[in-house]
Amino acid sequence: MGLIQNVLAVIVVLGLLITFHEYGHYWVARRCGVKVLRFSVGFGKPIWSRVDRNGTEFAIAAIPLGGYVKMLDEREAPVPDEQLHEAFNRKTVWQRIAIVAAGPLANFLLAIVAYWALFVAGTTTVAPVVGDVTVDSPAERSGLRSGQEIVAVEGDAVRSWDDINLRLIARIGASGELSFQARGDTREEAREFRLPVENYLVRQDPPQPLATLGITPWQPPFPARLGQVIDGEAASQAGLQAGDEVLAVNGTPVDDWMDFVNIVRTSPGESLALDVARNGEQLSLTMVPGERELETGVSIGYVGAGVESVEWPEEYRREIRYGPVEALGQAVGRTSDMTLLTLGAIRKMLVGLISPSNLSGPITIAQVAGDTARTGLESFISFLAYLSISLAVLNLLPIPVLDGGHLLYYFVEAVRGRPVSERTQAMGLRIGLALIATLMLMALYFDLMRLW
């Protein structure tokens, strides 16, 4: 069932993003008087199509990993004299720029609309209250203490751990100090704390912005009660069920869920005697954790079970809601922040500050799409918005075969007064295809490594 949900979720996500992207090209092309021959979502043989009154074929193709808008163009096929005025290549350079740029801009617009809807409907999050502070960590040396709520990072107000992580990820590679503002309670004035860092998060895979600073978010006590058990894994094979609470392992009482997790992680392949509470009765079960090897080469135990969620105290809950007008400003700001974050991540990956293993391909996208869909509509829409921004940014990179590569050629044409030569464009096309193929293979490789 999980695989089917992942596949359906990724089809919905990619289908929506691709449709918006290609509709941006289509809409502006029609406004510029260009005849559109085909609007296709997906590649390959169409599995459904229809032709509208303007002669445009709308199609859904079998391979849902992209799409295209095919326009009348003399460079691709002969064009009758009476239709030359509708050919893409006969339009002014600024009209061609507008048509090409419209796809990525449509994805930015989709992200703004998605964030606006979330901010108007309201989102519930938990207050960024510090739980534990690691001894001799940057957080402890700065004076930050357990129980304080972080209200600003690097001068920017924050209201959730997501806000904090976004601002910290943007500081990858920083050396010096990170500025935090925190307070003990809402009546107390916030104080500034300066956390010393050196090459912050450089080449961490994956980056751990909070743990690196020695900060553990506060959370309510989680008893070692199972919320879900995966069929075929060690927990299921041992007879554990959702709702079971692990009381002791090998005769040693289990304090909470993390205590149980730590025991499992350090016991791959070992037989564990469990005392379990189920429906008021106590059972004795035996479980042998499976073994999973991390990228660092360290092996950890794995049983295929998740914790049962608990209710957060009301004083730790925060609702973020804005009016329609204010929400628009917040949505534009969030889209801008995520765009800059994506551009910064690409730059830092190129200079080696971020490991290329953070690249994600269709498998990871499917997993995340499925997970967010199961988590709830709010998480799914947030993921949709972020993926839309990523698609827009990647398409605007100045790589031939992408929209950004075409825009580069057209801007050069606008400056020089004549098009880039066919020979140069053909050479750029080969380079662009090689780059894109390399990136896709790398992303697929890292997807498979994560899956393994």
**Catalytic residue list contains 413:** no
Q: Give the span between the Cα atoms of 195 and 201, in whole angstroms.
A: 14
Kindly state the tokens that stand for 295. 């990228």
Q: Give the span between the Cα atoms of 16 and 111, in whole angstroms.
A: 12
Q: Give the span between the Cα atoms of 448 and 297, in whole angstroms.
A: 17
- DSSP character at residue 256: S
Handedness of CA 298, 304, 308, 309 (dihedral sign): positive
Burial per residue of 30-59, b for 16 or more beta-carbon CB atoms within 10 angstroms, e otherwise: eebebbbbbbbbbeeebeeeeeeeeebebb
Residue linked to tokens 């609702």: 319
Q: Give the span between the Cα atoms of 302 and 299, in whole angstroms.
A: 10
Q: Report whether 221 contacts 259 (CB < 8 A).
A: no
Kindly state the tokens that stand for 181. 């503002």
The size of the chain, in residues, is 452
**Largest Cα–Cα distance in the chain?**
88
Strand 281-287 relative to strand 149-153: parallel, antiparallel, unpaired? unpaired
Non-local CB neighbours of 212 within 8 Å, separated by 6+ positions: 138, 197, 200, 201, 204
Catalytic pick from 22, 281, 291, 308? 22
Q: What is the DSSP string of 113-125?
A: HHHHHHHHH-EEE
At 60, the amino acid letter reads I
By annotation, the residues acting in catalysis are 22
